[in-house]
Amino acid sequence: MLRLATYADVDDIVRIYNQALKPGIFATSQVAPDTSDERIAWLREHQDAYPAFVYEIENDKVIGWCSLSRSSVRPEYSGVAETSHYVDEGHQGKGIGNLMLAHLIETATKLGFRLLVSRVLERNLRSAKGAASLGFQRAVLLHEALRIRGEWHNDVWIWKKL
Ligand SMILES: CC(C)(COP(=O)(O)OP(=O)(O)OC[C@H]1O[C@@H](n2cnc3c(N)ncnc32)[C@H](O)[C@@H]1OP(=O)(O)O)[C@@H](O)C(=O)NCCC(=O)NCCS
């Protein structure tokens, strides 16, 4: 079940996000683990127009989260939101990522956004596949744009018109 994230979910959000920093996952350029304090501040910014959700299963266990974020501080870009979605490593490949991304698309449409954007490392095949099947298109590929643990990576910017 997807529901709005609360401050009680912060530790689960951090736990799931930090799993994605491990070598070989290629989910994010971040290497240093996230902290609960950083996520509390993040959640404060993820209310109302830019919501965050958690995916909860039996016994109130949180196994995923997703969010819409501001894409730019400039007000002219207020119609564009950035998507993020993360699934607990023990529950990946079962359709939950796609389900959460579809929920973000539906939510963003209801909130009146016009475009969704996301940045994906090219080697993150699962993320790229799921986004493509939900109608995201590749806008640009930045060849060897970032270096993680001594290795160059291509950065792909994807977008979807709502
Ligand atoms: C990326 C992520 C959110 C996808 O969620 P998921 O629940 O694991 O994936 P889903 O089961 O919804 O499948 C998504 C797509 O990947 C495909 N897929 C599933 N397992 C796969 C695998 N082992 N290898 C390649 N593709 C795979 C699915 O077929 C689906 O593609 P389709 O829509 O064309 O059928 C999740 O794996 C995750 O949290 N990864 C680490 C963090 C991350 O990369 N977040 C995204 C940052 S941009």
Where exactly are the structural domains of the chain? 2-116
Q: Is the CB of 125 under 6 A from ligand 1?
A: yes
pLDDT the model gives residue 46: 97
> In this structure, which residue's CA is closest to atom 15 in ligand 1?
130
Given pLDDT bands bounded at 50, 70 and 90, which one contains residue 23?
confident
What was the pLDDT predicted at 97? 97
Looking at the predicted structure, is the pLDDT value of residue 29 above 90?
no
Per-residue pLDDT of 54-77, as tens digits, reads 999 999 999 999 999 999 999 999
Atom of ligand 1 nearest to the CA of 133: 33
Q: Thinking of the domain 2-116, which architecture would CATH place it in? A: 3-Layer(aba) Sandwich (3.40)
Using the mean position of ligand 1's atoms as its centre, give its distance from the Cα of residue 96 in Å. Answer: 8
Indicate whether 24 pLDDT > 90: no
Alpha carbon nearest to ligand 1 atom 30, residue: 130
The residue contributing the CA closest to ligand 1 atom 25 is 126
Q: Is 158 touching ligand 1 by the criterion CB < 6 Å?
A: no
How far is residue 73's CA from residue 44's CA, in Å, rounded to a whole number?
A: 16
Average pLDDT over residues 91-118: 98
Q: Closest ligand 1 atom, CA of 86?
A: 39
User: Could you give phi then psi for residue 64, rounded to 5 degrees?
Assistant: -170, 160
Q: In what order do the strands lie in the sheet with 115-121?
A: 2-4, 52-56, 62-70, 80-87, 115-121, 151-161, 137-148
Share of the chain above pLDDT 90, in %: 93
Look at ligand 1, atom 10, and give the residue with the nearest C-alpha.
Answer: 95
At residue 31, the pLDDT reads: 86
Report, as an integer, the average pLDDT of 106-135: 96
Residues of 75-113 as b/e, b for ≥16 C-beta within 10 angstroms?
Answer: eeeeebbbbbbbbbeebbeeebbbbbbbebbebbeeeeb
